[in-house]
Amino acid sequence: MLTAALWGLIQGLTEFLPISSSGHLVLVPALLGMDEPDLATTAVLHLGTLAAVVWFYRRDLMNLVHFRTDPGARRILWLLVLGTLPAAIIGVLFHTKIEILFSDPWIVAVLLIGTGVILSAGLLVPRGTRRVEEGRTGDALVVGWAQALALLPGISRSGMTMTAAMAQGFERVEAARFAFLMAVPAIAGAGTLEGIDLVRSGGFEPALLAGVLTAAVSGYLAISFLVRLLGRAGLAPFAIYCLVVGSLAWWLV
């Protein structure tokens, strides 16, 4: 149970902070000499982070129900549907090949450094003012392909999507809102499919529930912290973190 809670804590904190949850779930066990959680277990932990983001943005998500009468809700729903497609397509077509990368901590460390480089480049983007309700089809495609890139372990989903949204002129907190709303269908899809496979294979254990709960609580706290920090410091602290931790991991593993 303690191990499941540890994985849940790592998952919850690193899913929303732009430092790559998949990368940490590979590198932390490698550095500690532990067996890393399998992909199915990781996907189940995603259900905890799904609960966190759904609760944090519950008003936005509930408002989508009124898409027929609310132009703003209709626009956001269209952006989310369109932006989810790239990751869904790439995930289905290259699922097996992507899984192979999770077995090599060295590759994950290099990709975490890559996340740091991209976040650093994002610091050069002028501060935007746009809101999600002002999003266009092109914005959804740009952010959607950024999310698809984050299928690689070590590449942060939130880091890529927020950086892409900022590059499209969205205000920092609105970029996070866009990124996390778009993460909802992606996390739900991966967690549900892998969770069903886990249950069918008999691999689901009650101890995983501790991990899911820990991921939910820590995930909510991570979103709250990030939203507050974005207005003051942007993504700079996370760029430094990814560069330093990725470099250390590359040297140690």
In this structure, what are the phi and psi dihedrals at residue 130, rounded to the nearest 5 degrees? -75, 155
Q: Residue 67: CB partners within 8 Å, gap ≥ 6?
A: 73, 74, 77
Measured between alpha carbons, how far is 57 from 237 in angstroms, rounded to an integer? 24
Measured between alpha carbons, how far is 25 from 64 in angstroms, rounded to an integer? 33
Domain boundaries, the chain: 2-252
Measured between alpha carbons, how far is 191 from 212 in angstroms, rounded to an integer? 11
Q: Is 109 exposed, middle or buried (0-12, 13-18, 19+ CB in 10 A)?
A: buried
In this structure, what are the phi and psi dihedrals at residue 105, rounded to the nearest 5 degrees? -60, -30
pLDDT at 196 > cutoff 70: no
Residue with tokens 């149970």: 1
**Least-confidence region, from 27-41, 120-134, 167-181:** 27-41
pLDDT digits (tens, 9 = 90+) for 137-153: 999 999 999 999 999 99
- The DSSP letter of residue 10 is H
CA angle, residues 154, 158, 159, in degrees to nearest 5 = 65
Cut 0.75: pTM above it: yes
pLDDT at 192 > cutoff 90: no
